[in-house]
Amino acid sequence: MKVLVPVKRVIDYNVKARVKADGSGVDLDNVKMAMNPFDEIAVEEAVRLKEAGSVSEVVAVSCGVAACQETLRAALALGADRAVLVNTDVELQPLAVAKLLKALCDRELPSLVICGKQAIDDDSNQTGQMLAALLDCGQATFASKVKLEGGSAMVTREVDGGLETLSLELPAVITTDLRLNEPRYATLPNIMKAKKKPIDTLTPAELGVDVAPRLKTLKVVEPPTRQAGEIVPDIATLVSRLKNQAKVI
């Protein structure tokens, strides 16, 4: 059984994003990039399923610029068997990525796709859902536990007020939540081994997908600087401030 894991190259979560001076986007020059944290969780889950004997092959895929190869090498070092880069310099939007992944699924025929629930750069939370729609298959988003049983997957999701467990017929799409697992660190020997694992490169045209952006970013601005807090002496002052100054009560 094959699992496909889409991994996105994003700005490292430790880096404070800066907006470009002309407001056209986020400044990525000389910024540390890394694998989207939810995708690390997805790779970890796929590798654990392989280690448990339920999965035979883990294929990582990244769509974007040539530097996404670094992200794919990181996935290979975590235990993916091989990788595919869908190479394009066009800024990809979730629908374009979902279409590319659908075209790749038609070639690779995975039984399961495990995506991150969202990419921490655009925070879209759309790609996995759109992919499931394009594949016309079941989806379980925000998974906190995954168990494979025969031809189905039992997925536990955190919902308001409790846990929901879904049974999905495979093939299916699962998106990972933070509590699904704690990804391992890649060991040096595995990083070295990853250099020898294969990365195939394809283009959107080879997959027959038009990735032209459908959305236009009008302007990107920094959030307003947070005002300093103030300690008030008593409740009466607090109520008066909320009423007369903040005007929220």
Contact 51, 30 (CB under 8 A): no
Q: Verify binding: residue 7, ligand AMP, rule CB under 6 A.
A: yes
Task: Tell me which residue has its CB nearest to ligand AMP.
Answer: 116
Q: Verify binding: residue 115, ligand AMP, rule CB under 6 A.
A: yes
Nearby residues of 205 by Cβ (< 8 Å), 6 or more positions away: none
Residue 27 or residue 121: which is nearer to ligand AMP going by CB? Answer: 121
Q: What's the closest the beta carbon of residue 116 comes to ligand AMP, in angstroms?
A: 2
Which structure tokens are listed for 247?
Answer: 């005007």
Q: What's the closest the beta carbon of residue 246 comes to ligand AMP, in angstroms?
A: 34
Residue 49 or residue 92: which is nearer to ligand AMP going by CB? Answer: 92
List the beta bridge partners of residue 60: 5, 83
Q: Verify binding: residue 38, ligand AMP, rule CB under 6 A.
A: yes
- Contact pattern from residue 60 through residue 89 relative to ligand AMP, giving x for each residue in contact according to CB under 6 A and a dash for the rest: --xxx-------------------------
> Distance (Å, rounded) from C-alpha 175 to C-alpha 51?
20
- Contact pattern from residue 91 through residue 110 relative to ligand AMP, giving x for each residue in contact according to CB under 6 A and a dash for the rest: -x-x--x-------------
Q: Verify binding: residue 142, ligand AMP, rule CB under 6 A.
A: no
Which structure tokens are listed for 2?
Answer: 């094959």
Contact 186, 78 (CB under 8 A): yes
List the beta bridge partners of residue 64: 87
Hey, how many other C-beta atoms are within 10 angstroms of the C-beta on 180? 24
Contact 10, 36 (CB under 8 A): yes
54, 69, 88, 127: which one contacts ligand AMP (CB under 6 A)? 127
Q: Which helix (H) or strand (E) holds 173?
A: strand 172-176
Task: Give the Å distances, CA to CA, from 230 to 145, 179, 240, 243.
Answer: 43, 35, 14, 16
Residue 8 or residue 157: which is nearer to ligand AMP going by CB? Answer: 8
Residue 6 or residue 183: which is nearer to ligand AMP going by CB? Answer: 6
Residue 13 or residue 232: which is nearer to ligand AMP going by CB? Answer: 13
Which structure tokens are listed for 139?
Answer: 């989806």
Q: Verify binding: residue 152, ligand AMP, rule CB under 6 A.
A: no
Q: Verify binding: residue 146, ligand AMP, rule CB under 6 A.
A: no
Q: Which helix (H) or strand (E) holds 46?
A: helix 37-51
Provide the binding-site residues for ligand AMP, judged by CB under 6 A. 6-8, 36, 38-39, 62-64, 92, 94, 97, 115-116, 118-119, 122, 124-128
